[in-house]
Amino acid sequence: MSKKKSQFVLDARQAAFEIIFSVVYLRESLSNLFPMLKKQVAAQDLSLSRSLIYGVLRQWGALSELRKELCKSPLQEGEKGQAVAAILNLGIFQLLQLNLAEYAVINETVNLAKKNGLASAQTLVNALLRRVQREKDACQTALVKHKTANLPPYLLNAWKNRAEELAAVQSSQPPFSLRLRVGENGISAEQFLEKYPDARKNQLCKSAVVLPSGADLQEITEFVEGKVSVQDAGAQLAAEILAPKSGEKILDACAAPGGKTGHILEIASNVDLLALDCDERRLEKVNANLSRLALAAKTALADAADLASWWNGEKFDAILLDAPCSGTGVIRRNPDIAFLRQEKDLRNFPKVQMRLLRELWKTLKNGGRLLYMTCSLLPRENNLLIEQFLFQEKTAKLVPLDLPCCVDTGSGYLHFPDADGDGFFYCLLNKA
Q: Is 375 a catalytic residue?
A: yes
**Residue 166: exposure state from Cβ atoms within 10 A (0-12, 13-18, ≥19):** buried
Residues 6+ apart with CB under 8 A from 15: 36, 37, 40, 41, 45, 49
302 within 8 A of 282, measured Cβ to Cβ: no
Residue of 205, 375, 406, 427 marked active site: 375
17 within 8 A of 109, measured Cβ to Cβ: no
Pairing of strands 298-301, 272-277: parallel
Cα–Cα distances in angstroms (integers) from residue 42 to residues 7, 8, 11, 48, 96, in the given order: 12, 10, 8, 11, 25
In the three-class reduction of DSSP (H, G, I as helix; E, B as strand; rest coil), residue 298 is classed as strand
Residue 362, amino acid: K
> Nearest-CA neighbor of 322 among 275, 265, 368, 272?
275
Dump strand ranges (E) for 218-303. Answer: 228-230, 249-252, 272-277, 298-301
| Residue environment code for 280-310, b if the CB has 16+ CB neighbours within 10 A, otherwise e | eeebbbbeebbeebebebebeebbbbeeeee
By annotation, the residues acting in catalysis are 375
